Amino acid sequence: MEVDQTVSVSKGVFVFKNNFKPLTKLVKSKRKQKNVVNYQNTAFSSNAWYQSYSSLWQNIEEKIENLNNAMFSSVLSRLVNFVKSSHDFDVEEIPTAALLTGINMPDHAAQFKSLSNQIKESVTPHVACLHSQDCQNIKYLIENMIGQLVKEDESFSDEDSLSDSTRTHLKKSQLNLSVLQCWYENMYQEHSQTSPKKQKTKNKKILVIIISDFESFNAEVLQKFILIASCYIRVLPFVFIFGIATSISTLHTSLPYKVSSKICVKVFNSQRSTCYLNEILENVFFSTSCPFQMGGKVFNLFIDIFLFYDLSVNNFIQNIKYAMAEHFSYGNAMALCSFNKKETSAIIAEFSHEDLENVRHLLSFRKLVESETYENQIRLLTDDDYFANVLTEEIVKLQKYIRRLHIFLKCLLILVEDLPKAPLGQQLRDLYSVATAKNITNSPEYKECFKLLGFQSMEELSKKLSKILDYLEDKILFKHENKMKDFYEQLESFVDSMNNFNMAEMEEAVVEIENNEQVALKSLDRKQFKEKLFGMTKSQNQPLNRYEKLREKIITTLSQAFEEYLIEPKSFYFHEIFFFNNISIQSNIIGSHRSAIHNALNDPQYYLQCDCCTIPNSSVIKHTMPDICIAYKLHLECGKIINLYDWLQAFLSIVDPIEIDDETKRIVSPELQARFTQCVAELEYLGFIKSTKRKADHVARLTWGG
């Protein structure tokens, strides 16, 4: 494959197996990996944009995984402790942990995997994970479970130099609980012989059964399973872990008392998915490690999908991945999407003429050109070196801007998150989506927020300011950004002066005002009194006390800072390099099958990519199109009920156009009739028409419009 061909791939679909996981057999995986490497070499792995994309994505994936582990760790350690201590004493009921996970099970697959790994490491090697699809009835469930437990032991004892000949593979039909019991007793018998009796009980390892999708299990199967397991609880120390998606009451609706009395449930809550999303956003995508930024529209689209459709963080991350791939595949210009100044300047230095042309194709470059003088315009367009310098400058500006954008958004969030009704929203993501779509400081919500801030009491305001200071402290001190430092010091002085405020002084000021009023309110006639009152309402906010003056000052300082840093990204040149705002990916992210089918039938060239079927507008029908498309397009022209004979005639006139002079009926060849009948049957299968009894030889349309 030529390199040129693959540069413009934005419309194609490419499969990258960069996350390739080796199969169980080593040889196989080696061979395959080689294939993958070759494939990537021939494709575009050497292109700069792809390299920066893949390294960035790897980085992000790693961070997400770390974050996942950290977030799940508290629940995890509690669970592991529960499992550990569950059989310390003789139990009559099966100890059971119910983990409330939230409705998106695929998101939790990783959690359950790490849970089972952790239990294997620290508690017991005997862990079986059961999935509903493998456990249609009780027989399969038990065979599956015992298979996992016994097999685990085999790989476990592999190190104990057991030769293959001694191990015979167990047949599936042989696996039942009495086999498990004798296997278990056999394993721990030797221990008990060597060690004194007291240690025997400690040596016995717990059998952990993880059921990750409780809701999808057949309730009857589970009931039976629990009953069976409880018969063996004295010999086989079982522990259950249920992953429950909805709420704990499902446990009681699906298990009758005679079953639920056999288990002793302890409930573990895991995090809500919205919190999970916020964590992921704030720690991964809004951090300095991710230079790739989503524009307001795209970001809103993803958030909407999350909130309205699935609440799946996993899906959200995959959507971002898709957007990133789309973004970077624009060309080498996107290789500049990085926060490392040295790296970007090195990349620019290596840029060829084509690459720079690629950058020049960005839309915002036109704005840059237009803003320059005539001479510079020519230099920008023709002189590569000059252009490279300008580009470097602009990129540095953007890098600085994005970093500050996140910092100040966070500061703004601290200020506005607890305002009544929260006009700007309570989450960082709300602010981000506004700030990247438009100039946030011009928005009415922002103005309302600052109006509300103007009424804040001293304690609240100083609390917020010190919060901001805490946040800024670890963000800027080690960097030498003068403006930021000035801002920081200014805030610090405000907080100091607020803390040093003498309450008595303030009260004095208030009393003074009141005294003034009282003097003025002495004997007056009605009209004068009214005027006086009217005048007072006007002038009431004039005499400010010291705190109010200070507050005004603080707020103007803050809003100045925000106005300076929270500008919309569009105002920067080359913002496309960092911000991805192409909403057209919507159709790729949200699949809509109806329009896809309509598109395919109405304009087959869109999918077939053949030359013969190009049509100027959608109402044209060509005889080269597939039969079903012709029939479909003809049926769009009909009303509620379609006359089959007329339809056939119209079909024939397109497929086999013969001039017929008079009204004599033409003889339809059986081949054409068969083709037509097939089309009708296919359309009926797709649900566009159905047969009707209302009129003979007619079919009814099931869709509207044409």
Partner 1 sequence: MDQTLSLLHQTLPCRATQIDHLHNLFAYKDEPHPETVYIQGGPSTGKSIVVTTLLEKLELKHAILNLVECYTAKILFETILNKLSGHRMDPKNPVPYAKCENMMDFLQHLKNYSLEDDLTGSVIVLDKAEELRNMEFNLLPAFMRLKELSGIPISVILISELVFQKFLSKANIVDPMKIDFPQYNKDELLEILSMDIENARRIVENEYEHSIDFDLEFYKNYLNVFLSVFYRACRDLSELKYMSRINFVKYCQPIITGQNTVEDQMALWKNVAPTLKSSLAVLYLRIDTSNQTDQVVKHSVGSKETSAQSLELPFYAKYLLIAAYLASYNSAKDDKRLFMKFHGKKMKKLKDVKMKSKVSEQLNTQLGPKPFAFDRLLAIFYSILDEKVGFNNNLLVQVSSLVELRLLSSVSDNCFLDGQKYKCNVNFDFIQEISRTVRFNIRKYLSDFSHI
- Contacts with partner 1 by CB under 8 A lie at 89, 92-93, 102-103, 137-139, 142, 150, 166-168, 170, 174, 176-179, 182-183, 186-187, 215-216, 224, 227-228, 231, 245-250, 252, 254, 257-258, 260-261, 263-267, 269, 272-274, 305-311, 590-594, 687
How far apart (Å, rounded) are the C-alpha atoms in residues 284 and 279? Answer: 8
How far apart (Å, rounded) are the C-alpha atoms in residues 432 and 415? Answer: 15
Shortest CB 315 distance to partner 1, Å: 9
Residue 190: what are its φ and ψ, rounded to 5°? -60, -40
Shortest CB 595 distance to partner 1, Å: 8
Nearer to partner 1 by C-beta: 110 or 264? 264
Shortest CB 429 distance to partner 1, Å: 16
Nearer to partner 1 by C-beta: 19 or 186? 186
Nearer to partner 1 by C-beta: 73 or 253? 253
Amino acid at 700: A
Element at 412 (helix H, strand E): helix 384-416
Give the pair of three-digit tokens for residue 151.
Answer: 């097999």
Shortest CB 680 distance to partner 1, Å: 17
**CA 628 from centre of chain:** 39
Nearer to partner 1 by C-beta: 316 or 676? 316
Q: Helical H runs in 232-382?
A: 249-254, 257-260, 273-280, 296-304, 313-328, 341-350, 353-360, 363-371, 374-382
Give DSSP secondary structure letters for 104-155. Answer: -HHHHHHHHHHHHHHHHHHT-S-EEEE-GGG-SSHHHHHHHHHHHHHHHHHH
Q: First vs last Cα of the chain: how many Å apart?
A: 43
Shortest CB 25 distance to partner 1, Å: 25
Nearer to partner 1 by C-beta: 388 or 700? 700
Nearer to partner 1 by C-beta: 280 or 461? 280
**Which of helix, strand or coil describes residue 263?**
strand
Shortest CB 66 distance to partner 1, Å: 25
**CA 210 from centre of chain:** 27
Amino acid at 269: N
Q: Angle of helix 138-157 relative to helix 219-231, nearest 10 degrees?
A: 50
Give the pair of three-digit tokens for residue 355.
Answer: 């690459």
Q: Which residue is it, tokens 């977030």? A: 71
How far apart (Å, rounded) are the C-alpha atoms in residues 183 and 42? Answer: 53
Nearer to partner 1 by C-beta: 387 or 688? 688
Shortest CB 257 distance to partner 1, Å: 5
Shortest CB 191 distance to partner 1, Å: 15
Q: Which residue is it, tokens 């003498």? A: 502
For residues 268 and 275, the answer to whether their CB atoms sit within 8 Å is: no
Helix %, strand %, coil % of the chain (to 5): 65, 5, 30
* DSSP state for residue 667 in the 8-state scheme: P
Closest of 208, 93, 201, 223 to residue 149, by C-alpha: 208
Shortest CB 275 distance to partner 1, Å: 10
Give the pair of three-digit tokens for residue 259.
Answer: 């079953």
Q: Are strands 579-580 and 293-294 parallel, antiparallel or unpaired?
A: parallel
Shortest CB 572 distance to partner 1, Å: 33
Nearer to partner 1 by C-beta: 231 or 511? 231
Shortest CB 487 distance to partner 1, Å: 39
Nearer to partner 1 by C-beta: 180 or 648? 180
Nearer to partner 1 by C-beta: 50 or 184? 184
Assign residue 609 a region: left if phi > 0, alpha if psi is -120 to 50, beta otherwise? left
How far apart (Å, rounded) are the C-alpha atoms in residues 255 and 249? Answer: 10
Give the pair of three-digit tokens for residue 434.
Answer: 């506004």
Element at 459 (helix H, strand E): helix 458-476
**Which of helix, strand or coil describes residue 201?**
helix
Nearer to partner 1 by C-beta: 128 or 561? 128
Q: Helical H runs in 210-286?
A: 219-231, 249-254, 257-260, 273-280
Nearer to partner 1 by C-beta: 588 or 614? 588
Amino acid at 50: Y
For residues 566 and 408, the answer to whether their CB atoms sit within 8 Å is: yes
Shortest CB 237 distance to partner 1, Å: 17
Nearer to partner 1 by C-beta: 153 or 372? 153
Burial class (CB in 10 A: 0-12, 13-18, 19+), 127: buried
Strand order in the sheet with 698-701: 641-643, 698-701, 689-691
Nearer to partner 1 by C-beta: 261 or 560? 261
Shortest CB 324 distance to partner 1, Å: 21
Shortest CB 272 distance to partner 1, Å: 6
How far apart (Å, rounded) are the C-alpha atoms in residues 519 and 534? Answer: 16
For residues 328 and 52, the answer to whether their CB atoms sit within 8 Å is: yes
Shortest CB 377 distance to partner 1, Å: 44
Shortest CB 24 distance to partner 1, Å: 23
How far apart (Å, rounded) are the C-alpha atoms in residues 385 and 349? Answer: 9
Nearer to partner 1 by C-beta: 461 or 689? 689
Nearer to partner 1 by C-beta: 126 or 551? 126
Nearer to partner 1 by C-beta: 247 or 340? 247
Shortest CB 678 distance to partner 1, Å: 19
**CA 132 from centre of chain:** 26
How far apart (Å, rounded) are the C-alpha atoms in residues 488 and 486? Answer: 5
